[in-house]
Structure 1
Amino acid sequence: MLFLKLEDYMLPCLNKKLFGIDCMGCGFQRAISLLLHGEFIDAFKMYPAIYTLIIFIVYILLNLKYKFNNAHKNIRILAIINVILIVGHFILKLI
């Protein structure tokens, strides 16, 4: 039986190819792969926003079905947290 590896289908970062520097999303695909392999700490080290993004996406999907109270406020807070983590990690990689 042929087992397909997720790593074989990862998209290359065009920003890194063209300009030689990582983009704000670099590491996300590899972090997902690490999560699927059970390497939770390595996934966080690869892309610190991975867990908050998962929470964000799950919350939005659940809100579509169950219509939580104050969902717009919670979504805004989760979005701000994600932006801070993503931009912060990007700046740390540049330093």
Structure 2
Amino acid sequence: MEEYMLPCTNKWLFGLDCPGCGLQRGLLFLWHGEFEKAFHIFPAVYTLIIFTVFLGLHLLDRARDYHRIVIWTALLNGAVMIIAYIYKIITC
């Protein structure tokens, strides 16, 4: 399955990981039930799933207001991505 994954343009051009590097592998690990590996490769995978669920609810269920939850989960996901990226840069 890895031969079908998209390459990171940032890594290809500059030799550095981008904040989204590991997303595809993290989702693949989740698909195979390897939850710890998914978190290790891309820590924001779980907050991204929560954000995606609430975004989908916001788009599909117009009777309820999910606007605030979508914003907060997007901010949480962005914060986790940035913190994980800084940690990856410092420790590698």
TM-score surpassing 0.5?
Answer: yes
**Do structure 1's residue 21 and structure 2's residue 16 form an aligned pair?**
yes
Q: C-alpha distance in 1, partners of 2:80/2:47?
A: 9
Give 1:63 shift. Answer: 2.0
Q: Structure 2 regions of 5+ residues with no counterpart?
A: none
Q: Secondary structure at the residue paired with 1:57?
A: helix
Q: Structure 1 regions of 5+ residues with no counterpart?
A: none
Query: Which amino acid is 1:22 matched to?
Result: D
Aligned counterpart for 1:42 among listed residues 23, 33, 37: 37
Q: C-alpha distance in 2, partners of 1:28/1:9?
A: 14
User: Which aligned pairs between 1:1-95 and structure 2 lie closer than 5 A?
Assistant: 5=1, 7-67=2-62, 68-69=64-65, 71-95=66-90
Q: What is the TM-score when the length of structure 2 is the normalising length?
A: 0.90
Mark the structure with the bigger radius of gyration: 1
Q: C-alpha distance in 2, partners of 1:77/1:27?
A: 23
Q: What is the TM-score when the length of structure 1 is the normalising length?
A: 0.87
The count of aligned residue pairs is: 89
